[in-house]
Amino acid sequence: MTAVTTTDPVLTRPPRWGRVRQVATRPASVLAAGVVLALLVLAALGADLLRPDTGGVALDEVLAPPSLAHPFGTDEIGRDVLALSLRAMRVSFAISLLAAVVALLIGVTVGVLAGTLGGWVDGALMRMVDFLGSQNHFLFAILLVVLFRPALGAAAAVCLSVALSHWLVLARIVRGELLSLRERPFVAAAVGGGATRVRLVVRHFLPHLAPAIAVAMVLLLPHAIFHESALSFLGLGLPPHQASLGNLIAAGQRSLLAGAWWISLFPGLLILAACVAFGTLGEYWRDRHQPRWRGELEL
Amino acid sequence: MADPTPGAAPARRPASAARIIVRRLAALPFVLLAVAGLTFLLVAISPYDPNSAYTGITGSISEQTRQEINAAWGLDGSTAEQFGQWLGNVAQGDLGHSRLLGGQPVLDEIASRALLSIVLVMIALALVLVGGLVLGVLAAAFRDSPLDWLVRTLSYYGTAAPSFWVGLLLLSVFSLQLGWLPSGGSTDVRSADSGFVDPAHLILPAVTLAITQQSWFTLYVRNTVLEVLRDDHVRFAEASGVRRMAVLTRHALPNALIPFITLTGSHLSELIGGAVLAETIFGWPGLGRLTVEAALAVDIPLLVGITLVGSVLVVLGNLVADLLYRVADPRIREGLT
């Protein structure tokens, strides 16, 4: 949850049932997105409990269509696609979350530097952000993965490449917010009270930026999930033994000719569900707390 | 688009087409320099070693042979010297030789593949334009009807659905299950007189690529048309008895065309990324597929070359968008805004 401003009428109401009402009065689509997301995360975390094993190699069950025993069917060596999907979803979520956190760190650092130092530092950093924004971030991500996979390993290289191609929005938002924060009276008061630049950033700026950063994070996650799975789909991401949803879809492509549509279909549906859920929640929080970011924070 | 009120001087002199071209082309060397600098920096700080990558031998050659190869390839200088040397080569159109393609000059291979990608992107853009206009106008005209709901829902899910997965679904349904369309390549290799591009082979990759860009444009058209329909000039047209269809096509549509051009310019680099995925799924032998082949084979000169050419294409695409913008928006042409 993002921090809520004190002027929020729901929060200033007496607490009894307040929380429940606050949740229950949200639009149905937001509630549905929350439920879907909770289910997906629980399923990913509890993969080992839900489907304890992938069935191993079962040559009598090769490419079996969806059935009660195997709701998502089986793959070309007879493994249960549901079990594979849940584990792959866990990998996808973990990598995407980590990539989003790294992107956040880079973006906030650049944004804070540009917004507080101003002058030529600001000019140079923002020129760089604009230049990178005009370039194709997917080609850039591919180059990064290829260059750094041997040294960092696949998972870290994918994280780095997704993070380095997605921090621009965060830097822009943080800088924009800082420019307006700087003019507020409390900053003058803090400076008058002898606050250093570092103290200003840590005690005064970052707490104000927290809601913006939280919303940006949630809206970044669908992009991270998409880019991670796209890289894995192309064979440039995670190795098959750490399969993410992208790997599964690629594996399904090989079985398409044999008529096995289910191996690609279900992992893709999971990506779609996760991206729609994150997007719906993120946009709802954005519109509720900070409607003026509409232009900058798009799914 | 009201007539300029008499006496109101244009705020700015209209930028002539020639000036737009000169300004964009003048920026091109700087963009290229920045991209070249960035990619070189990345390669320099990465553990990638051209020597072992090209000789294919690590540890099994003597240190002396290694250094001789380094000296012969100019790898013994400082990073700055190497950058200068490479930049000089790039300026002369020498992007190095591809390892993947048996020592072919990188630029030749890129040039031979680029046209296929440009064709694909153009067709996809045409599909986005037509599809977005039709769906967006229909959704706006029948606002809050089931049709409107369907268009909005599909657009919303369209942004979230991974494009490569949508491509696979299309492939599975239309080519494997129904057998209506070919599943890969740019021409039918079995027919001797197959031309440059067979339209049937173009449909699935182009549709896949178009779907990635369809949603935002459809929604944009819908919103623009809804806004325009509330405008005074449209109300006047309706009041004077112009039929609804004519109102939509004559008064609402031209207003929706302008954002298409602006936004296409800014989405152009995304289209190139989308083309990488669409071309890979359908085996379309364009730049996108070459990118993946180069990446899988760790062919750095080819990959860097594609990145540079991609930047040039984006700059040129923006130039075309700027020029078209002048054609579509009389306010820009007359220098009114």
Here the ipTM equals 0.81
More confident of the two residues A157 and B269:
A157
B296–A235 C-beta distance less than 8 A: yes
Q: Name the residue with higher pLDDT: B336 or B216.
A: B216
Distance CA(A196)–CA(B151), nearest Å, equals 54
Chain B residues touching A275 at Cβ < 8 A: 160-162
B161 vs chain A: nearest CA distance in angstroms? 5
Considering only alpha carbons, which residue of chain B is nearest residue A264?
Answer: B165
Contact state of A256 with B168 under an 8 Å Cβ cutoff: yes
Tokens describing residue B135: 């769906």
Distance of alpha carbon B211 from alpha carbon B259, whole angstroms: 18
Written as one string, the DSSP assignment of B29-56 is HHHHHHHHHHHHHHHHHSS--HHHHHH-
Q: Does A145 touch chain B (CB under 8 A)?
A: yes
Q: Which of A61, A91, A87 is nearest to A75 (CA)?
A: A61
In which residue are the tokens 């070919």 written? B182
Q: Is A211 on the interface with B (CB under 8 A)?
A: no
Residue matched to tokens 């182009």: B206
> Can you give the pLDDT at residue A111?
92
The answer, for B100 touching chain A at a CB cutoff of 8 Å, is no
Of A221, A284, A234, A137, the closest CA to residue B270 belongs to A137
Closest partner CB to A142 (pick from B176, B295, B311): B295
List of chain B residues whose C-beta atoms are within 8 Å of the C-beta of residue A272: 157, 160-162, 165
Is A33 near chain B, with CB under 8 Å?
A: no
Determine the distance in angstroms separating the CA of B39 from the nearest CA of chain A, rounded to an integer: 8
* Contact residues on chain B for A252, CB-CB shorter than 8 A: 168
| pLDDT at residue B3 tops 50 | no
Q: Distance, in angstroms, between B120 CA and closest chain A CA?
A: 17
Q: Residue ranges of chain A with pLDDT lower than 50?
A: 1, 4, 299
A265 close to B (CB below 8 A): yes
**Using the 8-state DSSP alphabet, how is residue B248 labeled?**
I
% chain A with pLDDT above 90: 14
* A228 within 8 A of B164, measured Cβ to Cβ: no
Mutate to test the interface with A, among B168, B175, B277, B309 (most CBs of A within 10 A): B168
Q: How many CB pairs under 8 A join A and B?
A: 124
Point out the residue among A137, A138, A143 whose CB comes nearest to the CB of B303.
A143
Contact (CB<8Å) A144/B42: yes
- Tell me: pLDDT of B313 over 90: no
B312 contacts B90 by C-beta, under 8 angstroms: no
Tokens of A151: 């040294």
Alpha-carbon Rg for chain B in angstroms: 25
Write b or e for each residue in A36-50: b if 16 or more Cβ atoms lie within 10 A of its Cβ, otherwise e: bbeebeebbeebeee
Going from the C-alpha of B94 to that of each of A196, B44, B108, B111, B305, the distances in angstroms are 52, 19, 10, 13, 10
What's the Rg (C-alpha) of chain A?
22
The residue that leads in pLDDT, B294 or A79, is B294
Could you tell me the two tokens for A70?
Answer: 């195997």
pLDDT at B57: 57
Q: How far is CA B237 from CA A47, A96, B232, in A?
A: 62, 52, 9
Contact B328, B258 (CB under 8 A): yes
Q: What is the pLDDT of residues B40-94, one digit of tens each?
A: 888 888 777 776 766 665 566 777 777 777 777 777 777 777 888 888 888 777 7
Any chain B CB within 8 A of the CB of A229? Answer: yes
**pLDDT range class, residue B6, cuts 50, 70, 90:** very low
The H-assigned helical ranges of chain B are 17-45, 50-55, 63-72, 79-91, 106-141, 146-160, 163-170, 199-229, 232-239, 244-246, 253-282, 287-296, 300-328, 330-333
Question: Tokens for A109?
Answer: 């650092």
In this prediction, residue B58 carries a pLDDT of 58
B97 has which bridge partners? B105
Q: Is A143 on the interface with B (CB under 8 A)?
A: yes
How many angstroms away from the CA of B95 is the closest CA of chain A? 16
* B23-41 pLDDT per residue, tens: 878 888 888 888 888 888 8
pLDDT category, B320, cuts 50, 70, 90? confident
Task: Return d(Cα A297, Cα A282) in angstroms, integer.
Answer: 9
Q: What is the pTM of this model?
A: 0.82
Does B304 contact A143 at a Cβ distance shorter than 8 Å? yes
C-alpha to C-alpha distance for A37 and A282, rounded to whole angstroms: 12
Decide if B280 and A234 are in contact by the 8 Å CB cutoff. Answer: yes
Q: Would you call B298 and A233 a contact, using CB atoms and an 8 Å cutoff?
A: no
Which pLDDT does position B4 carry in this prediction? 45
- Averaged pLDDT for residues B197-211: 81
Q: Is B61 an 8 Å CB contact of chain A?
A: no
Q: If DSSP codes are grouped into helix, strand and coil, which group holds residue B242?
A: coil
Tell whether the model's pLDDT for residue B1 goes beyond 50: no
Residue B9: predicted pLDDT: 47
